[in-house]
Structure 1
């Protein structure tokens, strides 16, 4: 993702007000606003598929949120949209305006990788996500091959990386997800 600021310092309140009327999505990082890449049709299909599988698997246990729900990482002053979010228990939110709020306690986040965002999703964006205390799993879905990766928060030390490809399954938040079901 090309991270080119679209304008000078913007308060969080002004950012949220502008997002309400914008036809494009943006990220906010401590006063700087960045344009987000547009999504391909395949990207949207994969987001729908993985979130649908999670919604079925986690029904009654956790709430599954679409990419239109904003996230706020308080420690790094970062507002963004993940492709999908899962919250177990009551959602915690950060309120800026009367009706505007962003999730602050996801247990699982999903990003579908594209050529323009893969480096960012694996690097800088993941670095922000790692600062969310509630986050237990970060899921990366490939657009180019049947491959899903999951980074799990360890008890001590480094994040644990697992990967599943065509014909395999992996466990996300205690539920088995079949890779081929996501790509069907």
Structure 2
């Protein structure tokens, strides 16, 4: 069992520490937090989201790549989140990378233990990253997507239950139903 460090860390220190300590963690204001075990429904929806993102990228022939959870997104010098899925465009992410520098889309699949954090701290944190244009909060229990989108004068939010999400940039179309398909 990994003991969480009791000292504040920078993101660089955290990334080095996390490579030597198996498990899922996030760094918030310099403090390491272990992520709770996930339910089967949560895991299935994460797979469906990742698959839908990959299919959408291929269908649109975008120079982007979808990534499942496991890579960090740096919010500031002392905070790094690990979204459930993300999309990065431009140069490919290196094979030894543990961090995605310029994600365009980040996705969190809601769970009872993370719902409040996803809708507050992570929402404001993700939009501090200039490259992030879309933050999708996928609720498997309600089969709803809360789509937060960067806008000229701030942020726009839509609650989507059906239809197609238009994610511009990068020019990705995602049928909402595809985010809930069984793997």
Q: Which TM bucket (shorter chain)? A: 0.7 to 0.9
Q: Which residue of 1 aligns with 2:67?
A: 65
Kept in 2: contact 1:16–1:100 (CA 8 A): no
Kept in 1: contact 2:30–2:79 (CA 8 A): no
Normalised to the residue count of structure 2, the TM-score between the two structures is 0.83
Q: Which residue of 2 aligns with 1:111?
A: 108
Structure 1's consecutive aligned runs of 4 or more residues displaced over 3 angstroms after TM superposition are 10-14
Write out aligned runs for 1:68-147 (5 A).
Answer: 68-74=70-76, 77-90=78-91, 101-147=98-144
Residues of 2 paired with 1:162 and 1:16: CA distance? 33
Q: Which residue of 2 aligns with 1:45?
A: 44
Number of equivalent positions = 172
Change (3 A) 1:11 1:133: closer
Q: Which residue of 2 aligns with 1:149?
A: 146
Change (3 A) 1:146 1:30: closer
The Cα offsets for residues 19-66 of structure 1, whole Å up to 9 and x where unpaired, read as 123232111234321222222111111111112111111124111111
List gaps (5 residues or longer) in structure 2: none
Normalised to the residue count of structure 1, the TM-score between the two structures is 0.82
Q: Which residue of 2 aligns with 1:19?
A: 18
